[in-house]
């Protein structure tokens, strides 16, 4: 990706980010607040198009894809949104079944209704919410909503999973539960996983490879374990949480 402006009168949000994520890799994406982490995720899955440059998923250029091709690519990405983005008008079960039903409609899966409901039950059991299937999202707690969103993201067993702040605002126990679920999912499906989190310690324990964005560029791309000894003072300050430094 070459450049992305959200406001033409201001400097570009991203300038010259080049990134390649291999199949089956687990990447953690971090950076200071408002550095564009969520924006980068949305660019990767084609929700926002950069002004210049290329974004390809599984070899398919998102910029060159027709609207129907783009929808087909997007339906193969499991996305856990920062605010969960559960559909208010649907029950928990309908929310989780929705991506599956759409894949059936697009001809990407051949499942009948009982099979869809089985997959939904299995997915809800996985996140410990099998008894909440008939509830509306507004009847659930923040942690439960996050788990429903996780069940919806993984129910289609997508080859690429993107998690945007999966533990934001959750207590430590629920955070640990969510990371356990993410690990279990990763183990089961071997999906490529990209995760954004402000909880840098938990993120480093989860991801094999860490990326850090700062002022529109990628200032760290390497193993999680080597982040402490990075040559960049920005990365070191961020990881150590120090008050003194360039940040």
Partner 1 sequence: MKSDQRKNSWVASLRSQARQLSQIAMLVCVGALRARRPKGELLRQLYQVGNRSLLFVLVTLGFTGMVLVFQSCLQLSRVTGDLSQVGGEFIKYLVHEFGPSLTAMMLATRVGAGIAAEIGSMVVTEQVDALRMCGVEPVEYLLVPRFLATLMMTLLLAVFGVLSAVMMGAFTAHQTFHVPYSVFLDLSKVRLTDVLTGCVKALSYGAAIPIVSGFCGLSTHGGSEGVGWATTRAVVSSSFAVIVLDFLISALALLSWQSM
DSSP for 134-169?
Answer: TS-GGGS-HHHHHHHHHHHHHTT--SEEEEESTTTT
- Count Cβ atoms within 10 A of the Cβ of residue 20 and give its class: 0-12 exposed, 13-18 middle, 19 or more buried: exposed
- 8-state DSSP, 190: -
Q: Does residue 52 bind partner 1 (CB under 8 A)?
A: no
The smaller minimum CB distance to partner 1, of residues 86 and 213, is found at 86
Q: Does residue 139 bind partner 1 (CB under 8 A)?
A: no
Q: C-beta of 96: minimal distance to partner 1 in Å?
A: 11
Q: Does residue 55 bind partner 1 (CB under 8 A)?
A: no
Q: Does residue 163 bind partner 1 (CB under 8 A)?
A: no
- Count Cβ atoms within 10 A of the Cβ of residue 52 and give its class: 0-12 exposed, 13-18 middle, 19 or more buried: exposed
Q: Choose, by CB under 8 A, the member of 11, 24, 105, 176 that binds partner 1.
A: 105
CA distances from 232 to 48, 75, 130 (A): 29, 37, 46
Structural contact between residues 234 and 244, judged by C-beta atoms closer than 8 angstroms: no
The smaller minimum CB distance to partner 1, of residues 98 and 247, is found at 98
Pick from 14, 50, 20, 65: nearest CA to 35: 14
- In the numeric block, which tokens belong to residue 44? 């990767």
Q: C-beta of 79: minimal distance to partner 1 in Å?
A: 4
The smaller minimum CB distance to partner 1, of residues 47 and 247, is found at 47
**Site stretch for partner 1 (CB under 8 A), options 49-57, 103-111, 187-195, 224-232:** 103-111
The smaller minimum CB distance to partner 1, of residues 71 and 190, is found at 71
Q: C-beta of 73: minimal distance to partner 1 in Å?
A: 9
The smaller minimum CB distance to partner 1, of residues 164 and 224, is found at 164
Q: C-beta of 100: minimal distance to partner 1 in Å?
A: 9
Q: Choose, by CB under 8 A, the member of 2, 5, 42, 157 that binds partner 1.
A: 42
CA distances from 111 to 16, 62, 149, 156, 220 (A): 42, 27, 21, 11, 43
CA distances from 31 to 24, 100, 134, 187, 206 (A): 23, 33, 38, 26, 16
Q: Choose, by CB under 8 A, the member of 12, 99, 126, 166 that binds partner 1.
A: 99
Report 69-98 residues binding partner 1 (CB under 8 A): 71-72, 74-75, 77, 79, 81-83, 85-88, 98
- Count Cβ atoms within 10 A of the Cβ of residue 201 and give its class: 0-12 exposed, 13-18 middle, 19 or more buried: exposed
Contacting positions for partner 1 (CB under 8 A): 42, 45, 47, 67, 71-72, 74-75, 77, 79, 81-83, 85-88, 98-99, 102-103, 105-106, 108
């Amino acid at each position: 990706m070459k450049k992305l402006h959200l406001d033409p009168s201001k400097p570009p949000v991203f300038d010259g980010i080049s990134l390649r994520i291999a199949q089956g890799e687990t990447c953690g994406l971090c950076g200071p607040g408002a550095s564009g982490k969520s924006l980068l995720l949305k660019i990767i899955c084609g929700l926002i198009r950069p002004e210049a440059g290329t974004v390809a998923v599984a070899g398919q250029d998102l910029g060159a894809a027709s609207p129907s091709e783009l929808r087909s690519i997007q339906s193969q990405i499991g996305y856990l949104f920062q605010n969960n983005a559960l559909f208010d008008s649907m029950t928990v079960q309908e929310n989780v079944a929705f991506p599956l039903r759409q894949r059936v409609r697009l001809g990407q899966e051949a499942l009948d209704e009982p099979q869809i409901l089985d997959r939904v039950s299995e997915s809800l059991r996985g996140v410990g919410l099998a008894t909440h299937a008939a509830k509306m999202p507004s009847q659930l707690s923040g942690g439960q909503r996050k788990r429903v969103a996780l069940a919806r993201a993984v129910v289609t067993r997508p080859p690429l999973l993107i998690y945007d702040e999966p533990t934001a605002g959750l207590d430590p126990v629920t955070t640990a539960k969510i990371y356990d679920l993410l690990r279990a999912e990763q183990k089961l499906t071997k999906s490529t996983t990209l995760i954004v989190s402000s909880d840098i310690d938990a993120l480093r324990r989860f991801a094999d490879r860490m990326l850090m964005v700062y002022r529109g560029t990628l200032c760290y791309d390497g193993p999680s374990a080597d982040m402490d000894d990075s040559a960049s003072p920005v990365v070191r300050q961020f990881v150590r949480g120090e008050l003194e430094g360039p940040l």
